[in-house]
Amino acid sequence: MSDIDHEKAQYSVGADSPTNHAIVDVVAQKGGAFGEAADIYGNVETAEQYGYVERGLKSRHIQFIALGGTIGTGLFLGIGKAFATSGPVSVLLGYTFTGIAVFGMMQCLGEMSTWLPLPGAIPQYCARYVDPALGFAVGWNNWYQSAITLCAEISAATLVIGYWDQDEKVNPAVWITIIILIILGLNIFAVSIYGEAEFCFASVKIITMLGLLLVGFIIMLGGAPDHDRRGFRYWKEGAMKEYIGTGNTGRFAGLWKTLVNAAFSYGGVEMVAVAAGEAANPRKNIPKAVRRVFWRILFFYVLGSFMIGVTISSKTVDPCPDVDEVPLRDQADYCQLTSDSAHGAQSSPWVIAIQGSGISVLPHIINAVILTSATSAGNAFLYTGSRYLFGIAQIGQAPRFLLKCSKGGVPYYCVAITCSIALLTYMSVSAGANDVFNWFQNLTTIAQLFTWSCICIASIQFRAALIAQGVDTKTLVMKAPAMPYIAWASLVYFALIILFNGFAVFTGPSIPWTKENDAISDFFVAYIGIPIFFLLYGFWKIFKRTSFVKPVEADIWSGKAALDAEVWPEQIPRNIFEKFWFWLC
């Protein structure tokens, strides 16, 4: 058989078709992975030629990737400058509003990924249900977003290491090299090794965040060594700080400023769906992981931003004293948060709160956790980036050699190419890790928002395809609530942030644009992602002359027969401890 033309082929496979029976036989004879490959590629020959990914991620891997996989530098470091600029209540509201939209998006993604869990699935959903050109655009957009975020996390890790090497006795390039090699080593072998690493990393981050929330509560109530009962003192200094404008307009602008930062912090929340293509028993484990997104958002992000707001000050001090000389008390917190000369955990709001309360040991521990978080996030984004590349190769929108997998089920060409982008991180050796981190943060946030928007669009069309092809939505393993309204609401929210995230360059001191006020650079960083995305879309639309997919013709079946044929044994807890462990993991 010839390879499938993924631009034209649409499948409508009924439950009793010969194709389904043949796939069931392949699964029984050669295993689930081979059967899925044959089902996706349309023939056994292609499956034998390229191989396929293995479902080596256990339930505990998936659950901990969902719980702690996105706790990274955005929550530990990036939130600090947003807090200093906009104030405690603005940050709390910004993380809450964005969290609600992200929760809605994840419900949509969970519904699609339990129906058909594919590796690097998001571009495949967009190509199958909306338009092949949208699949191309979101696929390559996802890939470069993951690859550049990998650079951002490695850059942040070198910044964190600077906490212990403030004189830079060791060239930062050494640390960059070590981190790249560690991340590559965790991804190039069987996916179960990646899963074990993320399980360990996530465990450390979850325990640390729970500890930080408890310490923050103690500091707030005056239980720290300084016995200073802070309460809501810092909200009275300026709960919602003015930004650019004055009065209510300035406070609203300050709130809006936090939304981009919140989006960066939530970045990667969708990686649990990317991992669905290599998850054991995905129709049981993925819904459980997706439903826990609500609690992750509530406890880690919303409650975390609240605790920061009640334990440190965002009051502006001018001029700011030197970072190494100031006592970390109320009037110096703002300066520490915004200092470009701060190293690693020095600019973390959590460390500032702990040091300011008289606790001296924890900052070194927190810095170590931040380092593991940055490494973990880099590890995760190399994984997701390589699977996105694998996914777009599956639909014929990337070179087919990228489909080649090792015996352990790792698409090693995809891993190697994605990891090669990490070499850009060496720019931080000359430009300064902090500047590179901030630049990468802004650039990748817009790409992230496009990904989330496309998930919502694909979900709307997926629902329309189910109805058009006679599938009862009540039979779905995971059913998103309030569809399609929840998808439309999240889509509008993300689109507004994309359009207005760079509003500051059109106001106040930024006009006229000069080299001195950096407005040109800020405009570029804020909006370059928009033309990149639409150029990708337009290129494939014109090159392949694609058309929008009609719901009745959408391919909601390819790959499903093999998955339906696989059987995973039911785990029955033998005692109360196993019952708790099975609930957690």
Chain segment 286-295, per-residue pLDDT in tens: 888 887 777 7
Interhelix angle 132-161/433-468, rounded to 10 degrees, is 150
Average pLDDT, integer, range 108-119: 88
Q: What does the pLDDT look like over 157-199, one tens digit per residue?
A: 887 787 777 777 788 888 889 999 999 999 998 888 888 888 8
Mean pLDDT, all residues of the chain: 79
pLDDT one-digit tens code per residue, 251-283: 888 888 888 878 877 877 888 888 887 888 888
Arithmetic mean of pLDDT, 348-374: 79
Report the CATH number of the 56-553 domain: 1.20.1740.10
| pLDDT interval class at 413 (50, 70, 90) | very high
- DSSP result, 141-170: HHHHHHHHHHHHHHHHHHHHHTTT-TT--S
Mean pLDDT over 113-119 rounds to 86
CA atoms within 13 A on the CB side of 260: 29
Region 101-122: what's the mean pLDDT?
89
d(CA 90, CA 256) in angstroms, rounded, equals 8
Q: Which residues on neighbouring strands pair with residue 57, listed in sequence order? A: 279
Nearest to 416 by CA among 184, 179, 144, 180: 184
- Does 528 score more than 90 pLDDT? no
Does the structure show a pLDDT above 60 at 337? yes
Four-point Cα dihedral 158, 163, 165, 168, nearest 10: 60
pLDDT of residue 128 exceeding 80, the answer is yes
396's torsion region: left (phi>0), alpha (psi -120 to 50) or beta? left
DSSP class of 275: G
At 466, is the pLDDT very low, low, confident or very high (cuts 50, 70, 90)?
A: very high
Confidence of residue 485 (pLDDT cuts 50, 70, 90): very high
Average pLDDT over residues 82-108: 88
pTM: 0.86
The model's confidence at residue 344, banded by pLDDT at 50, 70 and 90, is low
pLDDT confidence of residue 30: 60
Q: Is the alpha carbon torsion for 396, 401, 402, 404 positive or negative? A: positive
* pLDDT, mean of residues 386-415: 89
Top mean pLDDT of 29-38, 213-222, 231-240, 335-344 is at 213-222
Predicted local confidence at residue 510, as pLDDT: 57
Q: Give residue limits of the domains in the chain.
A: 56-553
Rounded Cα–Cα distance for residues 332 and 326 (Å): 7
Q: CB neighbours of 453 closer than 8 A, spacing ≥ 6?
A: 491, 494, 495, 498
- E strands, 181-284, are none
Q: Which of 72, 223, 220 is nearest to 157 (CA)?
A: 72
Residue located via tokens 């930024």: 510
Q: What pLDDT is attached to residue 61?
A: 81
